[in-house]
Amino acid sequence: MTVRITRNYRFVASHRLHLDHLSEEANQKLFGKCNNPYGHGHNYVVSITVHGPIDERTGLAVSVADLDTLVRREVIDRYDHRYLNFDVAEFASVPSTTENMAFAIRDHLQANWQTALGPNAPRLVDIKVQETKRNSVALSLIS
């Protein structure tokens, strides 16, 4: 029997949506209030969903402690209380949109997945980044 398990994690970060190759007017039109020159912040919620069989010995599909350790190291410690545009390397040349954040989180987790969760780790199947109550991005990793 296989199951899907979703864990939610929270962090706070600020950013500014801005593209250097566009004029101030074009940036304002494209990003609106998110183009504030002083930045703005969000209370992000990241949902990580895994899919896999239940281990008969433990009754678990994933070690929550190991998953929490991985997400803390690769996501929370990297983004929490940071100004994304300046403090996080992947956003130095890529806009710090919620979409790009979802892709970056995927890359960080996948690069360390097997090492952190072991050879029988469940599959990482979904990443959701909620920026506000009205705006979230869901990234499905299965086809």
Active site positions, annotated? 34, 81, 131
Interior/surface letters 67-84, b for 16+ CB within 10 angstroms, e for the rest = beebbeebbbebbeebeb
What is the spatial distance between Cα 72 and Cα 109, in angstroms, rounded to a whole number?
Answer: 10
120: three-class secondary structure by DSSP: coil
CA distance 107 to 124: 11
One DSSP character per residue, 61-111 reads SS-HHHHHHHHIIIIIHHHTTEEHHHH-GGGSSS---HHHHHHHHHHHHHH
